[in-house]
Structure 1
Amino acid sequence: MISFINGDFATLQDAVIPVSDLGLQRGYGVFDFLRVKEQQPLFLDAHINRLYRSLEHMRLRLSYSKEQLTAIITSLINKNQLEHSGIRITVTGGASPDGYTPVEPHIIIVQQPIAAPPDHMQTGPYKLVTHAYRRQLPEVKTTDYLMAIWLQPWIKEQGAHDVLYHWGGAVTECPRSNFFIISQNNTLVTPAVGMLQGITRANILSVARDSMAVQERTLTLEDIRTAKEAFISSSTKRIIPVTAVDDIELPVYTEKSISAWLFEQLRRKE
């Protein structure tokens, strides 16, 4: 498999960075991830724009323009010839001489095969457990997943699939997905602040606004307790219905669920 690292295309085995890299030494870096469907990158402009917003927040200056980065990704797709895949773009703080000060960033772009998501929405039990936690710089897609990984044994002990963060009474996000509910009056509600602005989240809001009421606002655990539906979203998951949050049992998904309709609209948008 061919990757791209600091200006060169190389095999994965040859794609290496110095041990002094701030991504390794201090966890200082950002990334973005997108799906490739039938050798076409999905929502590439949106992902690249988000990457550059993350870079700006982290004060990392990449030597490539958005147009150049788009061309590199297109070339990588052509070289690897993978029908369905995922592309991860990682940018770190570089090989810092003092182990603390960001320097010229390192950029690593890796493409690997992944299964295409099914054309129907995943159903069945899907439980979230809540944990009080506020990510540092939540608007940035950083490489820091310390809390999410540290919580994995506890999540499994709770018989859950993932964790839902909240802070100060407000629900924010899951580590790798955004969270939505459908209220009793059929309004789509999702947190407005304190979370990463997901690309799939934006696409869901876009298709929903044409057909239903949408609110981006503070979302509480009590809101979840009275919800008609709840679901999570991400680039790889599309939409997955949530059947429980802690001790809150949520209505079972049906083909007439609003989340099912949103899933179909999202699938058509790809």
Structure 2
Amino acid sequence: MFISLNGQFLKKDEAMISPFDHGFLYGMGLFETFRVYEGHPFLLDDHLQRLNQGLEVININYRFQREETNQHLQELLKLNGLTNAYLRLNVSAGIGDIGLQVMPFNEPNILYFPKPLPQAGELVEKKAVILEQKRNSPEGNERLKSHHFMNNILAKREIGNRPDIEGIFLNEEGYVAEGIVSNIFWVKGKVLYTPSVQTGILNGITRQFVIELAKNKNLGVEEGHYPTEHAFEAEEMFVTNSIQEIVPITTFEGYQLPGKQGQVVQQLHHEYRHYCKHLWSRHFLGSE
């Protein structure tokens, strides 16, 4: 497998960065993960927009553009013989002296990591359980998709490696927050509910896309602070991320749910399939 490091294609065991990189020393780095469908990087514009906003926050002087980024990742996909893939784009702050740096980072390390994925298929169900581990508060005003992943790792240890379970965080105030690697949604009546970004969650790209999909289909959407009792009344529930897409939930803390038989889940999944091979941004929904 080949990866890309600062524009060079290297075998994965040949790639190296300095131990003085502040991404390693102090966690000063961001990443995006997205899925490539038949060669198309789904919602790439949205991923790059979030990445660029985060880079500004942590003072890394680099910005990504679609054309250049897509050209580079297409070369990487071709080199690895991939058309359906997981792609992680990572930006690490770069070399600096030991000590907390307040000046901008002007020479970050930029890495692309691909992994093969099968063609997208049918819905895959999971069970959801509430974690003992609480969702930590964001380091700044809003949670970034950063190298700071200890909270997620501790939560993952709590549930183990079972692929059919997703752990659901409550935040420090006891409100439903998000999954270990996902955002959470549930349906009551004709309304789709999801925790607000103000609960401390990551504003997932697939989360944002699903919200726009639902609105486009005249489904009510509410974002707020919800206790677990509100979620226990759900008629349907699912979690989302850019690699696993929409994942229906069959049980939530023992409460039975319809999983992939849910009407809203089926409708959103159908729409997801329609757009995943050509859409660059959720902002283009409805423009076709």
Query: TM-score with structure 2 length normalisation?
Result: 0.83
1:156 aligns with 2:163: no
What CA deviation, in whole Å up to 9, does each residue of 1:113-145 have, x standing for no partner? 123331x2113x512223322242453111221
**Alignment partner, residue 262 of structure 1:** 268
Which segments of structure 1 move beyond 6 Å, counting only runs of 4 or more? 157-160
Shift in Å, 1:265:
1.3
2:101 pairs with 1:98? no
SS at match of 2:193: strand
Aligned partners of 1:163, 1:56: CA distance in 2, in Å? 31
1:64 CA drift (Å): 5.5
- Does residue 30 (structure 1) correspond to residue 23 (structure 2)? The answer is no
CA contact (8 A) 2:206 2:241 kept: yes
Please give the alpha-carbon distance, in whole angstroms, between the structure 2 residues aligned to 1:9 and 1:161. 36
1:237 corresponds in structure 2 to 244
Pair 1:55–1:46, CA change in 2 (3 A): same
Distance in 2 of aligned mates of 1:40 and 1:29: 25
The answer to whether the 8 A contact 2:156-2:180 is kept is no
2:221 corresponds to which of 182, 189, 214:
214
Instruction: Say if 1:92 and 1:126 are closer, same or farther in 2 by CA, change over 3 A.
Output: same
Question: What is the one-letter code of the residue matched to 2:123?
Answer: M
Tell me the residue number matched to 1:129.
Answer: 130
Alpha-carbon contact 1:169-1:220 (below 8 Å) kept: yes
- After superposition, residues 3-82 of structure 1 pair within 5 angstroms as 3-62=3-62, 65=65, 67-82=67-82
Provide the aligned C-alpha RMSD in A: 2.4
Amino acid at match of 1:116: Q
Count, aligned residues? 266
State whether structure 2 residue 177 is matched by structure 1 residue 172. yes
Residue-by-residue CA offset, 1:181-225 (whole Å, 9 max, x unaligned)? 101x22001112121121211221112112211112222211111
Q: Secondary structure at the match of 2:86?
A: strand
Give the Å deviation of 1:99: 4.6
Matched, 1:117 2:120: yes
SS in 1 for 2:96: coil
Pick closer, same or farther for the CA change 1:189–1:112 going to 2, 3 Å: same
Kept in 2, the 8 Å contact 1:227–1:250? The answer is no
Q: In structure 2, which of residues 230, 248, 252 is the aligned counterpart of residue 223 of structure 1?
A: 230
**Alpha-carbon shift at residue 256 of structure 1 (Å):** 4.6
Instruction: Give the deviation of 1:111 after TM superposition.
Output: 1.7
Q: Distance in 2 between matches of 1:77 and 1:214?
A: 37
Q: 8 Å contact 1:189–1:215 — kept in the other structure?
A: yes
Shift of 1:153: 3.2
Moved more, 204-213 or 156-165: 156-165
Q: Which amino acid in the other structure matches residue 212 of structure 2?
A: S
Provide TM-score, normalisation by structure 1. 0.88
**1:155 shift after superposition:** 1.6
